Structure 1
Amino acid sequence: MKRYLSILFLLIPLVCISQNKMLDSLENLISNYKTQDTNYVNLRIKYAARKMFLTPADTTWTTYNNKTLELSQKLNYPKGIGISYNNLGIVKHYFLSDPLKGLEYYQQAYDVFEKEPKFQKYVIGVLTNIGLIYLEQQEYTKALKSFKTLLHNPENKSKYTTEFYIGNVYGEQKKLDSSIYYYKKALVGAELNKRPIFIANIKTNLGVVQTNAGFLEDGLLNTQESLDIIETHNIEGLRVTAYTNAAEVYLQNNNIEKAQYYASNSLKLSEGINSLSTKNSALATLANVYAQKGDYKNALTNYKEHIVLRDSLINADRKLEISRKEIQFKADKDKAIAQVEIERQKSIKNASIIGGAGLVLAAIIGFILYRRKRDAVSKSKEAEFNAKVSDTELKALRSQMNPHFIFNSLNSIGDYILKNDTQSASDYLSKFAKLMRLTLENSEKKEILLSEDISLLRTYMDIERKRFNNTFTYNIIVDEGLDEDNILVPPMILQPFIENSIIHGLSHKENSGVLTISFKAKNDMLICSVDDNGIGRKSSATNKANTENKSMGMAITKSRIEIINKLKNTNGNIEIIDKTKGTRIDVSLPMQFAY
């Protein structure tokens, strides 16, 4: 199963560590302050910066920051407005696990700060938080691009924080050497600046990466040092993350009891602060702990919860909505800039009218030419917008996996465990885990090699054969003229049809069924066929079970092909042929080569 590195909750670029006395002093100042002016707003901002991370479970932070925002708006105080928006984004994104709402607030903060050069130091923090949404949603390329741009920004005075985030990205990509390199660079900066929160957070993530890279002693040492710092400074906002990481490190060091202790406590703490991402990591680690102890029942229970929560955190709809918000924000920004330019042109035109008829005529012609250019640019941006939305929708469709198949597979594993058939359970779980891993990895890709897709389909059909007690066999045929390692296809494009053939055709057949998957070239098109000798569509129509899923699978694949046709200007299609015994599906795709 994939292991997600926990991301730092302290994403407040304005945060610094204060003693309790300073917090008490600030609280008294705010309570006794009589005038609601910009100094009062600054006191509220300073208090939030020092206290928010220490008390992430406090449910009043939304109300507190909203009040600061309202005061700043009444005073027309841009600094207060921008920082309040950023703090609200942090509360929504990290404390309440709502990255969509968090992104809205971050973009509003960015819109305030980018207008004045003196606020550029705050822009760094806001852009960092937006980059971390990309990281959380596994948009690693976008995240890395954002952070490396920030790393070379002259206004970035805390480059060690950016180096830490780059280490996170490389850790998620399993580029462990690069991750360790950036974590160590970040650690040097954090220690020079005497930032215990960052030191503890860098060390806990560095410990996990070093452990995964095989440096068990170094990983264990950094993990223990991180836990010690958290205890010394009472850093509650980091405790959940550190406990989750410690559980993983101790598990790989075969200290099962400590692994269970930290994973269980991380799970309890994450529920207390509503941190879904750390709860997801804790469930995954607990499943591994129980499996190591031979407690397969609890291992399966925790693994099921982890799967459900993981899919809710990183689902296609959320990714699509985040991309839409990102694109819409850019579109609105371009529109605002264009409107300012239009107003400027109107002013120029009015001045030209006063100057004389000749200048009026010149201004009008200039304005017409400008408007034509603006309209052309607008159409270009609209086309780019639509293309990106189509591409994002295609990603969303690719990443969907039938939940009934997932839970049927997990229940089958559970049945083997209850029957004490550990060998079958292990074999089934191994194939299932491989399929899930490959499906998630490929959901981000537009195309994969035909050989990779065949391997995916083979694993999927092996699982289904085992689930249906080997009541059918399958063949995969590739024409001799096709090079599997050079042809590109959309990932798992045939999976819904194969699933329909197995469930609606072959599973109802009295004797053994045969499923044939074939690939051939025809008129610059790749013909992908799914052929079964099942009971056929007419007989299957009388069986109402899974009708909705069958329709959904067909609809999703049709949508994928329609979007591919739109993006590539091709004529891919789906053809259904009813045979005397069984059904054949022909999917026509444009022939594409890797090189």
Structure 2
Amino acid sequence: MYRFLCMLLLACLAGASLYGADKEKADRCQHFIQQGNRLLWRYEPTQAWEQYHQARLIALELEDDYLYAHALQGLGQAIWYTGRFHEAADTVRLAVKYFRRARAKMDQATALRILSNIYDDIGDYESAFKTTTEGLELYKGSKNNFNYVLSLTQMGALYRSMGDFETALAYYRKAEQLGPTRAEYPYRELYHRMGELYAAMGHTKEAKEFYARALEGNAGRKLVRMRLGNLYLQEKNYDLAFRYFDSLHKEARRITDINIIIGSMLGLGRVYLVRHQLDSALKMAYGSLEHSSQGGARQPRQQAYELLAAIYEEKGEDGKALAYHKQQEALKDSIITDNFRRKMFSFRQEAEAERLKGQRNVLVLCIAGVCILALFAFFIISLRYKNENLSLQQRAAELEMKSLRAQMNPHFIFNCLSSINHFILNEESDKASEYLTRFSRLIRTVLVNAGKTTITLEEELDMLRLYLNMEQLRFKEAFDYSIEFEPGVEPSMIFVPSFILQPFCENAIWHGLLHKDGKGRLNIHFSMKNDVLVCIIKDNGIGRERAASYKSAPVEKVASFGNRLSAERLALFNDDQSGASFITEDIRDNKGDIAGTSVILKIKNKQVHD
């Protein structure tokens, strides 16, 4: 008995000793994690990685899932900050798995929010939506406002990036109602994102006010200063924009902040382009392209291609400009595909959450519509390269393809789906059904005419009316339109380039009429003069000069590519080497003030269907 008691005592002492050793290791592990957090906060990701790596090794030795998950989460963030997005996503995804095993619900939700941000940077929007939605589910019933605010803010940012501003604002307002503590990180991130939203809507004054709140408690925050630089660029205050981008570029290079380096180089390149310092602009554009290509960030890479195309266009090197424009368009195609997936995922999520009448049929029809669009996109790409060996036909095919892409503008399609979604959520089933019917008819019309170089004016106007009626319904009758013919114009007997009118009407609505106070008016008038069809598209909008101040494109010269495209298509159709195919003019009232815009198109009457 005595011997047994002695052995039991020795075992207890040994266990206590082992416990003490494990506790010491756990304390060291937590110390390394805390050190990593501090270094990450100071934006020193390489040094932070070393600390998290040491913590990971200790947690592995202890077989402690909770500490191991924290170490992995820190490693993923450090890798993310150095611009290795896919590796970062894999690491944080593993952290989510170990938090789940450790039953650490709130930590799991935090890791999901971080993972969503990384997916957003990569361009994997469907995964970003899924992870944010999963995180929000975990926060239900929780008092953890800190991370709940951040997750709601992240969801709003995803909706903002796809152009659904109304839903984005709803999420931001919900986050705001949770009362984030002033000047703390959730407060700053919320108002940073709200500033982004209002900047995207063209409300620069409100955007600046939100950005000012986002800088409270951290006046040097680089990402917000980057947004301010872009805002001043949008306002054409190039000197102030340059000061923001230049200071950010110098700071980011010292600490190897890849995301800020890419953004500041793009900003500087755009300013240099406006100043006609083309060599400096090229240096910045190529630098941003190199960094974004290494990290796998598609959105900045697309912007770099777009900038390079604009620079070479300014230099008069049209061959290089077209080559970079093609690369930008090809990358845009893949981003559009992801955007469709993202839009459809969010659409399904919202419809399911509300459990409204008829949701299943609407979803099936929308998914079918997207499948049709995918087939349509495949057809257009095939058409582009079909006659590759014949230079004239190749150029015509490229022009047709780009015109069709302009016709079915992805933002327009996203907004159509958003409108259907909001009609459902507001229990306006009749409007949802009517809108969806028009949307499917428009897609069908595009498919029917996709393979035709020319179509009758009657067919062109059928498609145009569908588009205009949808825009009227979506914008609650914010404008009226009329289509008029002079005697002698027979729409069924006149052939025009396919999808030639809609881009001009869309431009009039979006840049002229929607910014106008009061009712807008769009008039489309046709006449025949010397066997040439003359189409005059007039709007009573705000005019070209004011419309330019609302545009968020980096430089006006980038937008001019679209005008050149339309000019080349009409010149090709008209066999006109001069390219004088359309004219844009301001309309002035009796006092000489701007009262709208007029576009005059001249189309040679060809009585042969292509």
* Range into which the TM-score falls when normalised by the shorter chain: 0.5 to 0.7
- Asked if 1:326 is matched to 2:349, the reply is yes
- Asked if 1:16 is matched to 2:41, the reply is yes
Write the distance in 1 (CA, Å) between the matches of 2:94 and 2:268: 38
Which residue of the partner structure matches residue 270 of structure 1? 292
Whichever residue aligns with residue 161 of structure 1, its letter is: E
- Asked if 1:194 is matched to 2:169, the reply is no
Which residue of the partner structure matches residue 287 of structure 1? 309
Per-residue deviation at 1:299? 0.5
Task: Give the 3-state SS of the residue equivalent to 2:356 in structure 1.
Answer: helix
Which residue of the partner structure matches residue 443 of structure 1? 413
Write the distance in 1 (CA, Å) between the matches of 2:97 and 2:448: 55
- Asked if 1:381 is matched to 2:351, the reply is no
Write the distance in 2 (CA, Å) between the matches of 1:145 and 1:152: 11
Which residue of the partner structure matches residue 107 of structure 2? 80
8 A Cα contact 1:276 1:309, kept in partner: yes
Whichever residue aligns with residue 219 of structure 1, its letter is: A
Write the distance in 1 (CA, Å) between the matches of 2:277 and 2:115: 40
Q: Which runs of 5+ in 1 are unaligned?
A: 1-11, 332-379, 448-487, 507-512, 535-595
Distance 1:46 1:392, change over 3 A: closer
Which residue of the partner structure matches residue 190 of structure 2? 162
Whichever residue aligns with residue 413 of structure 2, its letter is: S
8 A Cα contact 1:247 1:285, kept in partner: yes
Q: TM-score, normalised by structure 2?
A: 0.56
Write the distance in 2 (CA, Å) between the matches of 1:139 and 1:400: 25
Distance 1:312 1:495, change over 3 A: same
Per-residue deviation at 1:274? 0.8
Q: Report 1:372-451 matches (<5 A).
A: 381=356, 383-384=358-359, 386-387=361-362, 390=365, 436=406, 439-440=409-410, 442-444=412-414, 446=416
- Asked if 1:146 is matched to 2:116, the reply is no
Per-residue deviation at 1:161? 2.0
Output one character per residue of 1:185-219: Cα deviation in whole Å (capped at 9) or x when no partner: 424542x42364xx222222322221221212111
Q: Report 1:553-564 matches (<5 A).
A: none
Which residue of the partner structure matches residue 252 of structure 2? 230
Which residue of the partner structure matches residue 98 of structure 1? 124
Write the distance in 1 (CA, Å) between the matches of 2:200 and 2:371: 21
Task: Give the 3-state SS of the residue equivalent to 1:134 in structure 2.
Answer: helix
Output one character per residue of 1:526-558: Cα deviation in whole Å (capped at 9) or x when no partner: 9x9984699xxxxxxxxxxxxxxxxxxxxxxxx
8 A Cα contact 2:336 2:410, kept in partner: no
Which residue of the partner structure matches residue 150 of structure 2? 125
Which residue of the partner structure matches residue 64 of structure 1? 91
2:237 to 176, 199, 215: 215
Whichever residue aligns with residue 211 of structure 1, its letter is: L
Which residue of the partner structure matches residue 171 of structure 1? 199
Write the distance in 2 (CA, Å) between the matches of 1:392 and 1:42: 37
Write the distance in 2 (CA, Å) between the matches of 1:86 and 1:286: 34
Output one character per residue of 1:481-515: Cα deviation in whole Å (capped at 9) or x when no partner: xxxxxxx9756874444555646xx7xxxxxx987
Per-residue deviation at 1:91? 3.5
Write the distance in 2 (CA, Å) between the matches of 1:47 and 1:123: 20
Write the distance in 2 (CA, Å) between the matches of 1:194 and 1:125: 17
Write the distance in 2 (CA, Å) between the matches of 1:165 and 1:78: 26
Whichever residue aligns with residue 218 of structure 2, its letter is: K
Write the distance in 2 (CA, Å) between the matches of 1:270 and 1:128: 25
Task: Give the 3-state SS of the residue equivalent to 2:178 in structure 1.
Answer: coil
Write the distance in 2 (CA, Å) between the matches of 1:82 and 1:66: 12
Distance 1:203 1:31, change over 3 A: same
Q: Percent sequence identity over matched residues?
A: 11
Which residue of the partner structure matches residue 107 of structure 1? 133
Per-residue deviation at 1:224? 1.3
8 A Cα contact 1:151 1:163, kept in partner: no
Which residue of the partner structure matches residue 331 of structure 2? 309
Distance 1:296 1:69, change over 3 A: same
2:274 to 241, 249, 252: 252
Per-residue deviation at 1:310? 1.4
Which residue of the partner structure matches residue 461 of structure 1? none
8 A Cα contact 1:53 1:237, kept in partner: no
Output one character per residue of 1:227-247: Cα deviation in whole Å (capped at 9) or x when no partner: 123124331233222222322
Write the distance in 2 (CA, Å) between the matches of 1:414 and 1:281: 30
Write the distance in 2 (CA, Å) between the matches of 1:263 and 1:225: 17
Output one character per residue of 1:166-203: Cα deviation in whole Å (capped at 9) or x when no partner: 23233333x0xx2354245424542x42364xx22222
8 A Cα contact 1:17 1:50, kept in partner: no
RMSD: 4.7
Task: Give the 3-state SS of the residue equivalent to 1:443 in structure 2.
Answer: helix
Write the distance in 1 (CA, Å) between the matches of 2:271 and 2:385: 27
Q: Which runs of 5+ in 2 are unaligned?
A: 1-36, 418-436, 471-482, 484-489, 496-610
Per-residue deviation at 1:301? 0.9
Which residue of the partner structure matches residue 375 of structure 1? none
Distance 1:147 1:248, change over 3 A: farther
Aligned length: 409
Distance 1:223 1:105, change over 3 A: same
Write the distance in 2 (CA, Å) between the matches of 1:501 and 1:430: 9
Distance 1:288 1:433, change over 3 A: farther
Write the distance in 1 (CA, Å) between the matches of 2:87 and 2:443: 46
8 A Cα contact 1:319 1:396, kept in partner: no
Write the distance in 2 (CA, Å) between the matches of 1:63 and 1:166: 29
Write the distance in 1 (CA, Å) between the matches of 2:407 and 2:346: 24
Distance 1:153 1:234, change over 3 A: same
Whichever residue aligns with residue 165 of structure 1, its letter is: R
Whichever residue aligns with residue 381 of structure 1, its letter is: L
8 A Cα contact 2:195 2:207, kept in partner: yes
